[in-house]
Every structure is written in structure tokens, then in C-alpha cells.
Amino acid sequence: MAQRTVVVASGVGLHARPAKLFTQAAAATGLGVTIAKGDGPPVDAASILRVMALGVKHGEEVTISAEGDGADEALDGLAELLATDLDAVKPA
């Protein structure tokens, strides 16, 4: 199982728009991606409700995990997304 630990850069943490962008990207990988805050249990990273329920704030660490072909590449992309201030990125 591939894992990455990332500090969340978005000013509002994983709430609203940043959570939406992250969960959409996690679902698009086609892999079973999970996300966990601290020592808490991992949740489905493609579920916006579960991700928002983690209550991840700006500057907190999360661990994302995935298994399967392309897991490392998928997690690299998701980690980069979490390390970006998604509040500052203008919608296309």
C-alpha cells in the first residue's frame, strides 16, 4: 500500500471547495483512496461528507493511502493538490 503524509495548505482546510476538488480528484483515480487525520481511522477519500467530517484545518497533517496499479502516481498528484492553497486557485 502506497502512502503519503501531507500538510494541508488551503486556508479553510478540507472544507467546501478544497474538499470538493480533492474528493473529485480521488474518485478520478479509479483507486480505493483513503485519507486519515492524525491517528484517526481512514475514510473514503472520494466521499465529500466523510472528508469534511474529518475537520482538517489549515496546516494539519493528513495521510493518504491507495493500493493498486498507479497508486504511487495517483498519490503524488493528490498530495500536490493538498499541498496547494486551493482557495487561491481560480476556478476554470
Mean pLDDT on 58-66: 97
Whether residue 15 lies in the annotated active site? yes
| Average pLDDT score, the chain | 94
Say if CB 73 and CB 8 are below 8 A apart: no
Res. 87 pLDDT band, cuts 50 70 90:
confident
Domain 2-82 CATH superfamily: HPr-like (3.30.1340.10)
Every domain of the chain and the residues it spans: 2-82
Give the per-residue pLDDT at 88.
Answer: 74
Supply 24's cell numbers.
473529485
Phi/psi region, residue 70 (left: phi>0; alpha: psi -120 to 50; beta: rest), is: left
pLDDT digits (tens, 9 = 90+) for 17-55: 999 999 999 999 999 999 999 999 999 999 999 999 999
Catalytic pick among 15, 33, 65, 78: 15
Q: 57 near 13, Cβ under 8 Å?
A: yes
Q: Is 1 exposed, middle or buried (0-12, 13-18, 19+ CB in 10 A)?
A: exposed
CB 66 within 8 A of CB 1: yes
